[in-house]
Structure 1
Amino acid sequence: MYETYTTVIGTVVSEPRRRETAAGEEVISFRVACNSRRIDKRSQEWIDGPTLYLTVSCWRRLLTGVGLAIAKGRPVIAHGQIKTNEYVSGDGERRADLEMTATAVGLDLSRCVVSYQGTAGPAARAHVAVVEGSAALEESAA
C-alpha cells in the first residue's frame, strides 16, 4: 500500500547472481553492505558504525548494465523500493531480510573511476579502476 523508496551507498559483498523466475523473468541479485562513518571525538579518528546489509534485485532494463558493471567489491549506489522479506529458514527459524527492488544502480564515482566505450551489449567495454585509499585496482569488463 505505502511504497518506501530509498537510496543506499555501499559495497557489493557477493557475486551478482543471475537467475530465471518460475514465470520466466530474469533477475540479477547481489548483496550490499552500507556503513556509516563518524569522527570519534576522543581519538579524532574515523570509526565505522553498524553495517546495514540488504539484497538488491534488478529486473528488466537493469539486467544488461548491472551484468556488465557490478561485481563483488565494487562501490555502488542503488535506488529503489525497499521492503522486509520474511521467511522460514531451513532449520525452521523465522527470519527477515531487507530487500530492494532497484530502479537505478550505478558505480559510486567518489570511490572509483570509470571509462566507458560503446553501447550496452556484447561489444560494450568498461574499464573500472576502484580506488581504495591511495591504491587502485583496475579491471576490464566485457
Structure 2
Amino acid sequence: MYETYTTVIGTVVSDPRHRQTTTGEAVISFRVACNSRRIDKRTQEWIDGPTLYLTVSCWRRLLTGVSQAVAKGRPVIAHGQIKTNEYVTADGERRADLEMTATAVGLDLSRCVVSFHGAPGQEPSTDDTAPRQVATAADGAAPDAETRRAA
C-alpha cells in the first residue's frame, strides 16, 4: 500500500548473479554502491561521503538488457521499489539489507560511452510498444575518480 520508489545512481560492485526462484522464475541480482561527493573548499579536492550499498533485483522484461549491459565496475542508474530485508545469520546475528526490485535499469551516460545494438532485423524505434533495445558499454572499464559524479 505504501511502497517506496526511488532512483539510485551508482557503480555496480558485484558480478550480476543469475538464478531461478523455487517456482522457476528467473532473476538477476547485483550490488550497487552509491555515494555523494563534495568539493572541500579548503583543499579544493573531491571528498567521498558515506556509501550506500543495496542489492538490485531484476525480473521479467529487464532480464535480457541487464544481462547484456550490466557488469561489475559499470556506472548505472536504477529505479524501483526499495525495501529492507531483515534476516538472522547462521551464527544468530540479526542483520538488515536494502533491496530494490527494479522497474528500470540503465547505464549512466554521464560516466560512460555506450554502443547501441538493437534486436537483429529491427530498426531503432521510439515507439513504446516496440520490443526493448539493448545498449552495451563500449568498454568494461570503470570510470576513473575524476569522472565520477555525486550519486
Q: Name the % identity.
A: 79
CA contact (8 A) 1:113 1:131 kept: no
In proportion to residue count, which structure has more strand? 1
Structure 1 pair 24–133 and aligned structure 2 pair: CA distance change class (3 A): closer
SS in 1 for 2:102: strand
Q: Partner of 1:16 in structure 2?
A: 16
Distance 1:26 1:131, change over 3 A: closer
Give the alignment's Cα RMSD to 1 decimal: 2.0
Q: Does 1:98 align with 2:98?
A: yes
Structure-to-structure mapping, 1:15-94, within 5 angstroms: 15-94=15-94
Q: Please give the secondary structure, in 2, of the residue aligned with 1:132.
A: coil
Structure 1 residue 134: Cα displacement: 9.6
Structure 2 stretches lacking a partner, 5+ long: 121-133, 147-151
Q: Distance in 2 between matches of 1:131 and 1:91?
A: 36
Q: Per chain length, whose mean CA-contact separation is higher, i.e. which structure has more relative contact order (CA < 8 Å, sep 6+)?
A: 2
Normalising by structure 1, report the TM-score.
Answer: 0.86
Report the TM-score when normalising by structure 2: 0.81
Equivalent residues, number: 132
* Structure 1 unaligned spans of 5+: 136-142
Q: Partner of 1:42: helix, strand, or coil?
A: coil
4+ runs deviating over 2 angstroms: 124-127, 129-135
Quick one: structure 1 residues 51 and 62, their matched pair in 2 at CA, closer, same or farther if it must change by over 3 Å?
same
